């Protein structure tokens, strides 16, 4: 049980939730999945336990992901999921409600922001502040964003890809597209159905993405065995799939991300563009780990592209560092409505 002044940072992602507790670091990283009984509306499992149920549940149990494309698609379930994670990290009961900072994609609307704040407050927060994902990702990646020089961040999560140019602690130019890790998985499922007449689950697609997926041709082709259901016979089948096939499946999705980076660079003021050409582009988020994606963006832009260390936890770490500046954030919020509120 934590005492007074416990502040929590939450990276509320489409694919996973990371929780950062002030003074302790990242204490929780679990999938954003909730299993519920349709008959009683009771929550049966949350996080890792619920993810294991995806695609493997009887009719009355559904494993759902309450966030879609970086925003809340099921408010009630999101609130219950948040409550579960907050309780799991702070103990069953807390004497004082925690202050919470939650990350949101840069393109969310005021209505979507309000939904996140309300869900967090209902889940047990004393006060909720918002921070935009590119800012949190840049801080977590170790960038000194307070300086008057340009930094470019490409944060590829489960539901959204945020591309932003940051200077003096604020976003100068940004875009947020709904193409990220989940769309990669969907593209692989579609490809397998179209090319091989086989239906695979999203967990199998994710394994293929991680093991043999890529955004750039490999020097040496790799293969893996895949199990699925033949759409003609309806029977389970095994087949071998190559990295070149997954490259073909992901072509459209990864091109959309490269296009987004290109479009942000086109709108970037010349001085800041010059800074970015010198320092390079930094990629964060789980999607940044897709093999060769940095090389594809480098080829398209002519600018060096680096994948941040511990790319998956950059946003959560940045949120944690923002907790240390909680008083500044609160002052900003109190001085009028701003991007954190």
What is the pLDDT tens value at each position of the chain, 341 positions in all? 344 457 899 998 888 999 998 888 899 999 999 999 888 888 889 998 888 887 777 778 888 889 888 888 888 898 889 888 888 887 755 567 888 999 988 878 899 899 999 999 998 888 899 999 999 999 999 998 888 999 999 999 999 999 999 999 899 999 999 999 999 999 999 999 999 999 999 889 999 999 999 999 999 999 999 999 999 999 999 999 999 999 999 999 999 999 999 999 999 999 999 999 999 999 999 999 999 999 999 999 999 999 999 999 999 999 988 887 765 555 544 544 444 33
In terms of DSSP bridges, do strands 99-104 and 127-132 run parallel, antiparallel, or are they unpaired? parallel
Instruction: Judge whether 179 and 186 are in contact, CB under 8 Å.
Output: no
Same domain, 14 and 35: yes
Same domain, 50 and 188: no
The residues, ordered by sequence, that sit 6+ positions from 234 with a Cβ below 8 Å of its Cβ are none
Q: Which pLDDT does position 92 carry in this prediction?
A: 58
The range of the structural domain enclosing residue 282 comes to 143-179+255-312
Q: Which pLDDT does position 58 carry in this prediction?
A: 79
Same domain, 207 and 301: no
Instruction: Judge whether 67 and 85 are in contact, CB under 8 Å.
Output: no
Same domain, 307 and 237: no
Q: Which pLDDT does position 94 carry in this prediction?
A: 57
Beta bridge partner(s), residue 45: 35
Separation between Cα atoms, residue 303 and residue 294, nearest integer Å: 10
Q: Which pLDDT does position 59 carry in this prediction?
A: 77
> Environment class of residue 270 by beta-carbon count within 10 Å: exposed (0-12), middle (13-18) or buried (19+)?
exposed
Separation between Cα atoms, residue 295 and residue 173, nearest integer Å: 23
Q: Which pLDDT does position 2 carry in this prediction?
A: 40
Q: Which pLDDT does position 330 carry in this prediction?
A: 52
Q: Which pLDDT does position 12 carry in this prediction?
A: 87
Is position 340 within any domain? no
Q: Which pLDDT does position 87 carry in this prediction?
A: 84
Is position 2 within any domain? no
Is position 75 within any domain? yes
Q: φ, ψ for residue 337 (rounded to 5)?
A: -70, 130
Is position 228 within any domain? yes
Separation between Cα atoms, residue 26 and residue 33, nearest integer Å: 19
Same domain, 55 and 108: yes
* CA dist 227 → 31, 205, 207, 208, 232 (Å): 23, 10, 11, 11, 15
Which CATH number goes with the domain that contains 318? 3.30.420.40
Same domain, 233 and 283: no
Instruction: Judge whether 284 and 155 are in contact, CB under 8 Å.
Output: yes
Is position 1 within any domain? no
Same domain, 174 and 185: no
Number of domains, the chain: 3
Is position 280 within any domain? yes
């Amino acid at each position: 049980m934590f005492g007074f002044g416990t502040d929590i940072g939450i990276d509320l992602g489409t694919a996973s939730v990371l929780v950062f507790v002030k003074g302790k670091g990242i204490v929780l990283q679990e999938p954003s999945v909730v299993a519920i009984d349709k008959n009683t509306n009771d929550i049966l499992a949350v996080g890792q336990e619920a993810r294991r149920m995806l695609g493997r549940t009887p009719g009355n149990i559904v494993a759902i992901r309450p966030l879609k494309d970086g925003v809340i698609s099921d408010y009630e379930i999101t609130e219950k999921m948040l409550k579960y994670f907050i309780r799991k990290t702070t103990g069953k009961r807390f004497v004082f409600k925690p202050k919470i900072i939650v990350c949101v994609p840069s393109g969310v609307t005021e209505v979507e922001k309000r939904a996140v704040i309300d869900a967090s407050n209902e889940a047990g927060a004393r006060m909720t502040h918002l921070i935009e994902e590119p800012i949190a990702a840049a801080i977590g990646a170790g960038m000194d964003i307070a300086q008057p020089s340009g930094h470019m961040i490409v944060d590829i999560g489960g539901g959204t890809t945020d591309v932003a140019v940051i200077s003096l602690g604020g976003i100068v130019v940004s875009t947020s597209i709904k193409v990220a890790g989940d769309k990669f998985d969907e593209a692989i499922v579609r490809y397998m159905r179209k090319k091989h007449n086989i239906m695979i689950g999203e967990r199998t697609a994710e394994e293929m993405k991680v093991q043999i997926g890529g955004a750039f041709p490999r020097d040496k082709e790799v293969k893996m065995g895949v199990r699925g259901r033949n759409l003609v016979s309806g029977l389970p089948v095994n087949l071998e799939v190559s990295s070149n096939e997954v490259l073909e499946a992901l072509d459209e999705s990864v091109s959309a991300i490269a296009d987004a980076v290109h479009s942000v660079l086109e709108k970037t003021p010349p001085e800041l563009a010059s800074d970015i050409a010198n320092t390079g582009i930094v990629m964060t988020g789980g999607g940044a780990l897709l093999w060769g994606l940095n090389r594809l963006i480098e080829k398209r832009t002519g600018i060096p592209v680096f994948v941040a260390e511990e790319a998956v936890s950059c946003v959560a770490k940045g949120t944690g560092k923002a907790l240390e500046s909680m008083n500044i954030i609160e002052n900003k919020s109190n001085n009028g409505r701003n991007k954190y509120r």
